[in-house]
Structures are given as structure tokens and as C-alpha cells.
A and B are shown apart, each in its own frame.
With several copies, the nearest count.
Chain A
């Protein structure tokens, strides 16, 4: 894609394309503590998560994703981001990520330390591609599903 077009496609940031092509957190864990699945019947996108916990901390996380670049990169960047977080922290990031995608007004001020999104901000342009938001959300849905088995 030539530069002009690439510029127009801020949505497909280099980072997204790279992580979709060569994910850093793809694969399985040999002994996951919890697992989660996400599936979008509309397009056939699927992701599976293996998570190793250390108390309430996410010690390690791997994903197995079949889907579009947005979904695959979202899974990989999510894994990178939440690794080392507590479950509660990861869920807070999840809420913040969603708020960014749907372009909702700033979160309630009661949130003392807004979780920074960091690299996850590459997905912000999805705001104007509503139909693709679910692609980026799928791994987070799988994450929530995994944590639904954890109390804490």
C-alpha cells in the first residue's frame, strides 16, 4: 500500500499489521489455571485464551486466534498489556478499552487511577468503524469469560 493510502489508513497501524502477522503471545500454556473463549458468529472470528494465575495476578497468558487483523492484533496486544496485572486491574483496562472504542464520555471521576491504555490506543480509530468494534472486543470478551470462574 503506498504511503498516501497507508496514511489514510491510520486504522491499520503498523503495529496492528505486525502483531496480526507475527503475534508475540500466540500459542497455548501447558497448565492454564483458567481458560476463555470468544466467538463472533457473524464473521467466524474465534479466540481461545490460556491464563496462568499467581494468586490474583496474571502470571502468563497465551491466545489462539483465528480472525481478522484487528481481532488477532487485539488479542496479542491485550495479552501483552494485562500480563502481570491483577484480575481487577485487567478488568478495569477492559472497561476503559471499551469506552475508548464506543467513544463514550469520560469514565466516572471516582476512578482514582485511570488505567493507561498504552499501545492499545492504536485501536481508537475504530470509533468510526462501528461494525469492526466487535473484532477488537472479542479477546476481551474471552478474558471476561475466563475470569468469570475466578472470584476476585
Chain B
């Protein structure tokens, strides 16, 4: 953090080679070919900074946290709680107590569906969109079936943008208590107009949750500027460890919400008759947390912050533009989604070649992409597709890798047609 060199937006430039050196896995071969990893939207690879911070914690300074009075425990507690400060900074949250650590985005959204959901009354509604990941759909269906609330779905346009008029109309009757919408689609790449979404929601008396799983990776996130009430993300897509995610929520909401999981660390006092809850955020963190992974997430945030989102966003914009141009030259290829603002995720289909065959054949050439419904089945149905192929780009992606992708796609198509 201290060595952070400010980069101005105009001159932000990544030294991709230097960055790639920090990801040992990028030197691996797959089927005797150099690995071309274009699946970062599913999960990003980890830099040495993250791997080493986790290993070093376990080698030199580890013990269970919060309840220990000894040195190892106090130092580990400091490291763990220090990451809460880092995450609060990272999201520009008003306070560190508003940061709750979870396993992943999925658990963060489930926590809200459970604990905020417990405050909802039958007849109230939750509003999601047609392009949600199952993580931001299934928990609300389960809440609907449990609590008798309404679940509404805002449509998207054929380009893959949120249909803002329809969105507004769905809020009109004032029954929507919570809008829960992705900040970036993991299929279409759409970056949603979060500030506008929040303003409209608030005007209609609804709160708003953004699923930031994809978006926090690509640009600077400021929950206050966005006007969010809840925000979630997941460590493993942010070059961090698996097993760690984040829920940010406004203090007053966290304070009102009943706890989610019960157990150690989330209580104030316990008798057999009744228990009282710890203050936020601890009320929502039951049991021994993912200590080492939280520390690893801190290392990831430090690492990303040093590079800076100006440089990252510029790099990814360039890659995405290049990909859209190059893929357009592949015969029979169609890009899925043409949103107004997009991140580094490009879905496509190819006439006469099923996405699964594309993925397997690319893999035989060392190229890792994803194919399927991307945990967004209802979106697939909206697009009238059963699956897409998806290439996604990270901090370490090189333009040349996109060229290899495009060239190989041409050969695959020749093979099939």
C-alpha cells in the first residue's frame, strides 16, 4: 500500500509481462501447449503476493482469533481485523463495522435473503433482473416460498441492458422492499447503471443490493457514490483465495437484521434459555472464520490497489475492444450481448458448433474458456440459447492470447463445417 504509485487515468498502463511473472500458473502447459487462461470470470488465478501471504501466515504467525490472550492469537486477530479496514477502504464504506466476511458472494446474498428477508412481510416484493446469476435468484426464490413475498423480474433489452422503463414500472406500486441486481453480468459483460438503479429504487422506497462479484474486479467501487444499501463480492475472482467473500451493508440495516448463523463469536452472552448477540459485524460471523483466506484477501486487495484500477480498467477495455474486433472476423461467430457499457467478458456462439465442442477443442489447444449456461439459466432462456461460449479477461491477459483464441476458433469452425 505504501509503495502505491498514483497513476493518472490517461497514462495508466500495465506492464503485463511483469504482472504475468507474478502468476506461476501462467507458465504451465496444458496438452503440451502453453496455457491460455481466458476463464478469469469463473475464478481468477492468484499472484505470488496472495499465495505467499497465506503460506507465510501458516508458517510464521497463526492461531485462532478473537478469544486468544496470547501473542500468536493477538497478532493473527490484528491481521484478520486489519483486512476489514482494507475492505472498507476498498469499497469506500463509511465504517469497518459494516464489513461482514462470508464464504463467497453466494453466502453473502443468502445472508441478506435470510436476515433482511426476515424483516419482510407477505405482500412486499424483491425485484431482480433477467440477467442474474443463480446466486442472486435462488436465495430470493427460497425466501419467496418461505415468507410469501413476491419476486419480480426486470427484463433486459435485446442488447443485454437493463430495460430501465420496465424497471421503473415494476417499482411503481411501492411494494418493492429490495432491488437486488448484478453490477456486472457474468454472461453479457453488461455493467449496469448502478447509481441510476439505486436512485430509482430509493425514490420508490426500495433498498438496493448490488451483486459486485464480477464488477469489483474491473473498476473502482464506491458504495457511497453508488448509493448502495448492500454490496457483495467474492475473493476468488479478485485474484484472492477461495473460501472468502464480503457483504457490505449499511450499519442501520445490519443492526436491525437478526443473525444468520449461530455459534461462537457472534454472541454477547449465552444461557440455555436465551442468547444475546454481539455487535456488528461479529453478529454475522459465527464460528472460526476463514482466517488465512481473509488475510489472503487482504494481500489481493493490496496487490490490486498497487496496480490501480485506472490501469486495470484501461487494460481490460483495450482487451475487450480487441476481442470484439477479432472475434467478428471468425466465420459463423455471433457475439451474445451488445450492452452500452461492458467489462472484460465476451460470450459468443458459433453456427453449427455447440459451445461445449468449442470449449473442448479450445482446451486441446491449451485455451481455457467456459461454455454452458454460466449459472444463469433463465437468462439463457431469455436469449433463446441453451449455452454460450465465454472468454473472459484479467489483469494478466495479453492481446496475443485473444489472437490465438480467434485463430483457433477459425480452425475449429473449418473442422466442423
Contact = CB atoms under 8 A, between A and B. Distances in A.
A44 B373 contact: yes
A102 B416 CA distance: 26
A5 B367 CA distance: 13
Contacts of B412: 1
Contacts of B268: 41
Interface stretch (B190-198, B220-228, B240-248, B353-361): B353-361
A43 B372 CA distance: 5
Contacts of A131: 68-69, 73-74, 77
A130 B387 CA distance: 19
B356 A135 contact: yes
A2 interface: yes
B326 interface: no
Interface in B258-300: 268-269
B78 A130 contact: yes
Interface in B351-381: 352-357, 360-361, 364-365, 371-373, 377, 380
Interface in A108-138: 129-132, 135
B365 A5 contact: yes
A17 B365 contact: no
A1 B412 CA distance: 6
B31 to A, nearest CB: 7
Nearest to A9: B364
A43 B74 contact: no
B82 to A, nearest CB: 12
B60 interface: no
A131 B71 CA distance: 10
B361 A12 contact: yes
Interface stretch (A51-59, A63-71, A75-83, A85-93): A63-71
Interface residues of B, number: 35
Given A41-B377, A43-B372, A1 B356 contact: no
A31 interface: no
B78 A70 contact: no
B4 interface: no
A129 B415 contact: no
A132 B71 CA distance: 12
Given A41-B268, A44-B387, A129-B69, A17 B77 contact: no
B414 interface: yes
Contact of B354 (A5, A8, A41, A69): A69
Nearest to B81: A130
A109 to B, nearest CB: 26
A120 to B, nearest CB: 19
A8 B364 contact: yes
Contacts of B373: 42-44
B218 to A, nearest CB: 27
Interface in A1-50: 1-2, 5-6, 8-9, 11-12, 17, 20-21, 41-45
Given A17-B416, A70-B356, A135-B356, A42 B67 contact: yes
Nearest to A42: B372
A142 B377 CA distance: 22
B386 interface: yes
A45 B74 CA distance: 20
Contacts of B387: 43-44
A2 B354 CA distance: 20
Contacts of A135: 356
Contacts of A45: 356, 386
Contacts of B67: 42
Contacts of B357: 12, 68-70
A132 B364 CA distance: 13
A9 B377 CA distance: 30
Given A1-B412, A9-B364, A43 B386 contact: yes
A131 B415 CA distance: 22
Given A41-B377, A129-B74, A131-B68, A17 B415 contact: yes
Which of A5, A8, A21, A44 has most chain B Cβ within 10 Å? Answer: A44
B411 interface: yes
A83 B23 CA distance: 53
Contacts of B356: 43, 45, 68, 70, 132, 135
A136 B105 CA distance: 34
17 contacts: A1-B415, A5-B415, A8-B365, A9-B415, A42-B373, A43-B371, A45-B356, A45-B386, A68-B354, A69-B354, A70-B357, A130-B77, A130-B78, A131-B68, A131-B77, A132-B356, A132-B360
Task: Please provide the 7 A-B residue pairs with the shortest distance between their CB atoms, ordered closest to farther.
Answer: A44-B386, A1-B415, A68-B354, A68-B356, A41-B269, A1-B411, A69-B357
